[in-house]
């Protein structure tokens, strides 16, 4: 009987420790980044027309208050722009929940239309590059 009780207590201790680690070990991540025609990312694409709005969409998990997500929209191969020239910089930094989990997006439009060529957006999480998304305007 003593052995069964000791084994049971040891197993329960391991289960409780595992659950506690799972609760306190929330890793922040930004995944499933994609370019799209819409803010929900339901219409992904890498080719836009000159009058389209660009959406960079991703899934942010376990972001504490104060998290900073940025998008640096850049020229890659566009007439009149130097390679890597910054077109626009955007930030999302209004996370107030303890651990935000959900979709985020950046939106870029141009009333005069976009020039044909290759573009990219560098997406950073707390100043660390997560991914670079390349796309074209035709």
Render each residue's pLDDT in the chain as its tens digit; 138 residues: 666 666 666 566 655 555 444 455 589 999 999 999 999 999 999 999 999 999 999 999 999 999 999 999 999 999 999 999 999 999 999 998 789 999 999 999 999 999 999 999 999 999 999 999 999 999
* CB contact set of 7 (below 8 Å; sequence gap of 6+): none
CATH code of the domain in which 102 resides? 2.60.40.10
Local structure of residue 63 (DSSP, 8 states): E
Neighbours of 56 (CB within 10 A): 24
Residue 13 in domain: no
| Backbone torsions φ then ψ of 106, nearest 5 degrees | -120, 140
Which pLDDT score, from 0 to 100, does residue 98 have?
83
Residue 50 in domain: yes
Residue 12 in domain: no
Residue 106 in domain: yes
The domain in which residue 78 lies consists of 27-137
Number of domains forming the structure of the chain: 1
Residue 56 in domain: yes
Q: What is the pTM of this model?
A: 0.81
Residue 111 token pair: 């009333």
Residue 6 in domain: no
Residue 53 in domain: yes
Residue 131 in domain: yes
């Amino acid at each position: 009987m003593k052995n069964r009780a000791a084994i049971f207590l040891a197993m329960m201790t391991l289960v409780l420790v595992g659950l506690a680690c799972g609760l306190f070990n929330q890793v922040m991540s930004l995944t499933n980044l994609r370019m799209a025609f819409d803010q929900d990312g339901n219409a992904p694409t890498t080719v836009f027309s000159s009058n389209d709005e660009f959406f960079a969409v991703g899934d942010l998990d376990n972001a504490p208050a104060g998290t900073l997500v940025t998008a640096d929209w850049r020229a890659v191969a566009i007439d009149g722009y130097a390679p890597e020239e910054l077109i626009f910089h955007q930030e999302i930094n209004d996370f107030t929940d303890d651990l935000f989990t959900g979709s985020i997006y950046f939106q870029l439009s141009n009333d005069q239309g976009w020039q044909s060529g290759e573009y990219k957006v560098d997406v950073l999480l707390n100043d660390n590059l997560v991914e670079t998304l390349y796309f074209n305007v035709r």
